[in-house]
Amino acid sequence: MPSGIILSSVDALIDWSRGHSLWAMPMGTACCAMELIAASFSKFDFDRHGTFPRPDPRHTDLMIVAGTITRKMQPAVKRLYEQMPDPKWVIAMGNCAVSGGIFYYDTYSVVRGVDEFLPVDVYVAGCPPRPEALQDAVLQLRAKIGQESIGPNTFYVRKQNLPQSGDPR
Ligand code: SF4
């Protein structure tokens, strides 16, 4: 049997298991956090996707940033992300997490999108986005994970060249 067939099957199995057991680190910092909390309720039933919140970054592989991130908060969010084991993914939920939202233009202290310091995999627009939009983001992320491979030089590579704070965007 050609080795490619075996590798493909292992890829499919690993991707399936990763995509269907995304344990989320909830990083709710502002009003979007209410929608993130609502997403945990039985009405939306994220558990059927194998996605549920865990309070410890060492148990999680998905960080959901929901809300405004200030410059003062940024190092703490980054530290929590770095404590998560690889491979790991990030969803930016809401306009504040995506781009600083309405606050960026009124204050010097708000980060203009968490992709200034975290490699965001899926963006969820809205102010606030509904839990259904987050559910769609989880499905999008699962599709991305499904394209990964454990083959040489094809494993998930995190973005290295994140924009720096103050860079034009
Ligand atoms: S995007 Fe809107 S709802 Fe979400 S944290 Fe910002 S202001 Fe609040």
Q: What are 83's two structure tokens?
A: 């404590």
Using a 6 Å CB cutoff, which residues line ligand 1?
30-32, 67-68, 94-96, 101-102, 127-128
DSSP state of 30: S
Contacts for 141 with CB less than 8 Å, ≥ 6 apart: 19, 22, 62, 89, 91, 121, 122
Say what the pTM is. 0.86
The predicted pLDDT at position 49 comes to 83
Gap from CA of 5 to ligand 1 centroid (Å):
46
pLDDT at 134: 94
CA distance 25 to 48: 17
Q: Are 8 and 46 in contact (CB under 8 A)?
A: no
What is the DSSP-derived secondary structure letter of residue 153? T
The closest residue, in CA terms, to atom 4 on ligand 1 is 32
What Rg do the C-alpha atoms of the chain give, in angstroms? 17
Return the pLDDT at 5.
60
> What tens-digit pLDDT sequence spans the chain (169 residues)?
455 566 667 778 888 888 888 999 999 999 999 999 999 888 888 888 888 888 899 999 999 999 999 999 999 999 999 999 988 999 999 999 998 888 877 788 999 889 889 999 999 999 999 999 999 999 999 988 888 777 666 655 566 667 665 665 5
